[in-house]
Amino acid sequence: MPSIKNLILQGEGVNLDFKKTITSTEKIAKSLVAFANNKGGKLLIGVADDGAIKGVKSEEEEKYMILTAAHQFCKPAIEPSFEEIYVDDKLVLVANIPESDTKPHYALDDQKKWWAYIRIHDKSVLASKIIIEVLKSEHKDNGVLISYSDNEKKLLEFLAQNEKITLKGFSKLLHCSYRKAQKILVGLILANVIRTHTSEKEEYFTAVSW
């Protein structure tokens, strides 16, 4: 593992999150789920958002909060591992969250509802229905066989002429329901024919360039 200082210099990102302290099991569950649904990640506890090393007062208390979130506020439960590292006489607690093979994971919010999240840049973002379907299918061993019907051809022809398309745009193109359009998109994402792009504002799809 790169040194903590080098990690901090990279800044928060897809697989790295800083927490000065853990204040809420719901909030931390969201981060844990987003990492597990992506490629895994590290939580650095005792580090402020700007990268300043503050250290933790009680690593046992922080571990307890993280484990409570991982076991009671994440479904399926997540198993983080911990490292305790001293930097300039200050203790930084590192929580390692592996990529899960039981995706998708959901986090419980303060309204007692379960939501799936993924990591986009340095944010934990709500996963769309399409992303959830892709996560569900990712670890199944049955290879995805795509039969190119007129629907798939229409989409690929559209993407050859245009940079991107949304679910709404695709269902309009096919004159079909969102559900049917979604199913076609999921199949093409799993077959690595198209790629999904998610931000907090929108989700769109582009062709994979070979």
pLDDT(126) > 60: yes
Q: pTM score, two decimals? A: 0.85
pLDDT bucket at 2, cuts 50 / 70 / 90: low
Q: Which helix (H) or strand (E) holds 123?
A: strand 123-126
**Complete domains list, the chain, with CATH:** 4-127 (3.30.950.30), 134-207 (1.10.10.10)
pLDDT bucket at 190, cuts 50 / 70 / 90: confident
| Average pLDDT of the segment spanning 27-32 | 96
- In tens, the pLDDT along 144-153 reads 555 678 899 9
pLDDT at res. 97: 98
The whole-chain average pLDDT of the chain stands at 92
pLDDT bucket at 199, cuts 50 / 70 / 90: confident
- In tens, the pLDDT along 85-97 reads 999 899 999 999 9
Cα–Cα distances (Å) from 68 to 57, 88, 125, 159, 170, in that order, read 18, 29, 21, 45, 42
Cα separation, 207 vs 165, in Å, equals: 9
Phi, psi for residue 4 in degrees, rounded to 5: -55, -40
